[in-house]
Amino acid sequence: MTPMVKAEGVHKSFGHAHILKGIDLEVAQGEVFCLVGPSGSGKSTFLRCINHLEKISAGRLWVDGDLVGYRQKGDKLYELKEREVAAQRRDIGMVFQRFNLFPHMTAVENVMEAPVQVKGETRAVARERALKLLDRVGLGERTDHYPSQLSGGQQQRVAIARALAMEPKLMLFDEPTSALDPELVGEVLDVMRDLAEDGMTMIVVTHEMGFAREVGDSLVFMDDGVVVESGHPREVLTNPRHERTKAFLSKVL
């Protein structure tokens, strides 16, 4: 089976700042893949490369067998047009640390927006599925609320529903619970756990080691733009082999 995500020697620089220094990894279909590491190590940058919000500087990156952002003909690489990049992104859902809901739309309108605008679905069809998704994330009662009228946990669940509305084959989570008050973290993790049980392929950047241990299928520790250590979450978390991993885990556990 083709891996859902495959990275080969991925580098990324911003000007002179060399942020990703050769990332190699594979995420299998249906896998819950946890990415941990200190702040500034390049986790968000790597996630953003996967859906081409950032262009990689060197290396190769595939999602479900397709090169991200490029087409290869012979040994030449052609950049994809804006439309083609947008089409690739449809299949990749992304959930942000700061939710990034559209504040001028209600919860249900947030969820309907992309199916209607991008897929050209009718409003009726999109609305019906949006209501089902909001119900699924436990917000069936708050479909007509504006984001400013929802708690952080509720906003993040709407954001997950919004990403799911495009029926993605891969979901990227960038510290989805880091901006939440501690008592609201659980409700978001519950939704993610449910999604994992459903077989969704997920890459999760998180500091919630409990979640990683319970739900994760594999875990990668990243530091300073390189993968330091990877393996099964329970193994890495209980028996870290590298000093840097040990130092990091002693701070977050």
Partner 1 sequence: MSDPEEKVPAPTVSITKDSGGAGGTGPVAKSSPVPPEAVKAIPVRHYGRWISAVVVLVVLAMLVSAFANAQIGWSTVGDYLDHETIIAGAINTLWITLLAMLLGVVLGTILAVMRLSKNPVMSSVAWGYIWVFRGTPVLVQLLLWYNLALIFPVLDLGFYRDEMNDVMTPFLAALLGLGLNEAAYMAEISRAGIQSVDEGQTEAAHALGMTRARTMRRIVLPQAMRVIIPPTGNEFINMLKTSSLAYAIQYGELLLSATKISSRNLAVMELLLVATIWYLLLTSVFSVGQYYLERHFQRGSTRSLPSTPWQKVKANLFSLRSPSQGGV
In whole angstroms, the minimum distance from the beta carbon of 12 to ligand ADP comes to: 8
14 binds ligand ADP (CB under 6 A): yes
Which ranges constitute the DSSP H helices of 68-181?
A: 82-90, 107-117, 123-136, 152-164
The total number of residues written for the chain in this structure:
253
- Give the nearer residue to partner 1 in terms of CB position, either 74 or 120: 120
What is the β-pairing status of strands 218-223 and 32-36?
A: parallel
* Binding partner of residue 179 among ligand ADP, Mg ion, partner 1, none, CB cut-off 5 to 8 Å per kind: none
From the number of C-beta atoms within 10 Å of its C-beta (0-12, 13-18, 19+), residue 173 rates as buried
C-alpha 247: how far from chain center: 26
* Binding partner of residue 194 among partner 1, ligand ADP, Mg ion, none, CB cut-off 5 to 8 Å per kind: partner 1
- Helix or strand holding residue 70 (H, E): strand 70-73
* Binding partner of residue 78 among ligand ADP, partner 1, Mg ion, none, CB cut-off 5 to 8 Å per kind: none
- Give the nearer residue to ligand ADP in terms of CB position, either 39 or 250: 39
- Residue 81 DSSP code: P
203 binds ligand ADP (CB under 6 A): no
- Amino acid occupying residue 48: R
In whole angstroms, the minimum distance from the beta carbon of 198 to partner 1 comes to: 11
Structure tokens at 10: 């991925």
199 binds partner 1 (CB under 8 A): no
In whole angstroms, the minimum distance from the beta carbon of 197 to Mg ion comes to: 26
From the number of C-beta atoms within 10 Å of its C-beta (0-12, 13-18, 19+), residue 14 rates as exposed
Q: What are phi and psi of 47, to 5 degrees?
A: -60, -45
Task: Return d(Cα 230, Cα 76) in angstroms, integer.
Answer: 33
Three-state DSSP at 91 gives coil
Beta-carbon-side half-sphere exposure of residue 186 (alpha carbons within 13 Å)? 2
Q: Please give the residues from 23 up to 52 whose contact with ligand ADP meets the rule CB under 6 A.
A: 37, 39-45
36 binds partner 1 (CB under 8 A): no
In whole angstroms, the minimum distance from the beta carbon of 190 to Mg ion comes to: 23
In whole angstroms, the minimum distance from the beta carbon of 45 to ligand ADP comes to: 3
Give the residue from 150, 202, 201, 146 showing the smallest Cα distance to 176.
202
14 binds partner 1 (CB under 8 A): no
In whole angstroms, the minimum distance from the beta carbon of 73 to Mg ion comes to: 35
* Residues near partner 1, by CB under 8 A: 51, 53, 82-83, 86-87, 89-90, 92-94, 96, 98, 100-104, 113-114, 117-118, 136-138, 140-142, 145-146, 148-151, 153-154, 157, 159, 162-163, 166, 183-184, 186-187, 190-191, 194
* Residues near ligand ADP, by CB under 6 A: 14, 17, 19, 37, 39-45
